[in-house]
């Protein structure tokens, strides 16, 4: 009886350790996928946003609106019309995608803008300048109460 208990315990322990190692392998694979380039980073950000948006909607959330639009299209147009490509960045052929994270506060103002994916300080500064210039949005709501909502917006600087 004791011997069979020890064998069962050993088999259980071996199976537990093998499960943990497979989790490590998949985590490592996930890390490698993310490091493969900008497209993977974009996909990861979109995936997180989709998850958060679904949770927000399930809670009865009404997303913030920029000039009446909650899809981001109007904000994208506004950004494009106000962004100036820094002359020095053009001269040095600096281009790429900068990701800026910001919060739409309970009163609709843009706060806490930070660069979460940098290309060059000149492009980062321009992206932050534009986000901080944004006019007020209509705030987001959950169950009739205004709430802070976090956004990530990509700035594409292409020559």
Per-residue model confidence as pLDDT tens digits over 77-127: 999 999 999 999 999 999 999 999 999 999 999 999 999 999 999 999 999
| pTM > 0.75: yes or no | no
The domain locations on the chain are 64-157
Phi-psi domain of 96 (left: phi exceeds 0; alpha: psi -120 through 50; beta: other): left
pLDDT of residue 48: 43
Q: Is the pLDDT of residue 13 over 70?
A: no
Tokens of 97: 């995608």
- Sorted by sequence, the CB contacts under 8 Å of residue 16 that are 6+ apart come out as none
pLDDT of residue 54: 58
Pairing of strands 96-104, 110-117: antiparallel
Q: How far apart (Å, rounded) are the C-alpha atoms in residues 115 and 99?
A: 6
**Position with higher pLDDT, 87 vs 63:** 87
Cα-Cα end-to-end distance for the chain = 76
Judge: domain 64-157, CATH 3.30.2420.10.
yes
Q: How confident is the model at residue 32 (pLDDT cuts 50, 70, 90)?
A: very low
Q: Is the pLDDT of residue 53 over 70?
A: no
- Which residue's structure tokens are 């020890």? 6
Q: Is the pLDDT of residue 19 over 60?
A: no
């Amino acid at each position: 009886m004791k011997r069979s208990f020890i064998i069962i315990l050993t088999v259980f322990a071996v199976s537990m350790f093998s499960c943990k190692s497979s989790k490590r392998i998949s985590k490592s694979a996930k890390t490698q996928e993310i490091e493969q380039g900008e497209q993977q980073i974009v996909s990861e950000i979109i995936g997180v946003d989709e998850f958060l948006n679904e949770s927000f909607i399930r809670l009865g959330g009404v997303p913030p609106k920029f000039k009446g639009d909650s899809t981001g299209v109007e904000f994208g147009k506004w950004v494009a019309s106000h962004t100036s490509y820094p002359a020095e960045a053009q001269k040095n052929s600096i281009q790429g995608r900068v990701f800026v994270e910001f919060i739409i506060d309970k009163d609709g103002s843009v706060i806490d803008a930070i660069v979460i994916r940098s290309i060059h300080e000149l492009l980062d500064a321009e992206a932050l300048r534009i986000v901080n210039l944004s006019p007020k949005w209509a705030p987001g709501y959950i169950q009739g109460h205004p709430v802070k909502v976090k956004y990530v917006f990509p700035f594409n600087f292409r020559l």
